[in-house]
Amino acid sequence: MKFAPVLPPELYYKFDGGDYHMVQAHLLARNRKLQDWTQQALSRGHTVILDNGVIELGTPATRALYDVAKKVRPTLVVCPDAYMDPDKTLAYQTQHLLTLQHLCDNVMLVPQGRTLGKWMDCALEMLKQSLPTLVYVGVPKYLDVYHELGRLLVVNALVNDFKIGPSYIHLLGIHSIQAVAAIVEKFPDVLGVDSTLPVAAALYRTGQGMDTVDKVTLDREDWYLTAWDLSHAQIASLQENIGWTRQLVANAPSGDRSKCLGMGRPMSTPGPSL
């Protein structure tokens, strides 16, 4: 499994984020420098997932998604979806999937539902409607709220019941390190996971309290638009956190999971939901 650190636009240029990235369509649409960085990453053979921004904006940035997909030709584009609303998500798929497949070779569908059962029902219907084309599936982090290992159960069903290859599954966000590690140990070939956690942990470690870098702030658009002036210690911590997370998701059994991204907090202690 690969890791895509989700960062404010200006920080993408400052760190070794590896070769697996997720960027927001609405941010790319208005940031030429970020567009250039994205195209350079693609030219080097990196995987770039173009997200629709529904978590940050409340509704998907559909116009930006189309405009940016045409311009940069990402590896994967996330089809518009509606948070926890399976009916509207299915309607978005009907409206957008075929058009997006003409703009990008690979499309990721994100099923939605307020329970594990409703999420699975939505996933089954979305996959049926997508036939005969091959699609990727994004699994949101809130499923781990319903059940301690909710996403592990979902990934297991996608692989064993729906016959989706693990390399066509991406985990959207990290609710808990333990839950992701459990998935990695059983399904190491899952494509990847993204998170804002390295940034939050870096800020926390260097003295900024989590009350200013909580989940709500991290998931709002204004967090991505803040001009972050990080200290040398924060920059070093962020690079360390990105490397640590990448190591964890690449090889969970051998990763040092005694601390949560350098924050000095035992992993059994509830951490931020990012």
Q: How far apart are CA 148 and CA 46, in angstroms?
A: 32
In this structure, are strands 76-78 and 47-51 parallel, antiparallel, or unpaired? Answer: parallel
Task: Let me know if residue 244 belongs to a domain.
Answer: no
265 is a domain residue: no
- Which residue in the block uniquely carries the two structure tokens 């781990």? 144
Using alpha carbons, list the distances in angstroms from residue 34 to 183, 195, 263. 32, 18, 29
Contact 110, 81 (CB under 8 A): yes
- Residue 121 is predicted with a pLDDT of 97
The tens digit of pLDDT for each residue in 148-205 reads 889 999 999 999 999 999 999 999 998 888 889 899 999 999 999 999 888 777 766 5
202 within some domain: no
Q: Let me know if residue 212 belongs to a domain.
A: no
Kindly state whether residue 214 falls inside one of the protein's structural domains: no
Report yes or no on 255 lying in a domain.
no
Structural domain tally of the chain? 1
Of 234 and 136, which is predicted with more confidence?
136
Q: Output the domain CATH number for residue 75.
A: 3.20.20.105
Composition of the chain by helix, strand, coil, percent to 5: 50, 15, 35
Question: In which domain, by residue range, is 45 found?
Answer: 2-196
pLDDT in tens, 80-108: 999 999 999 999 999 999 999 999 989 99
**Other beta carbons within 10 Å of 11:** 18
**Residue 203 included in any domain:** no
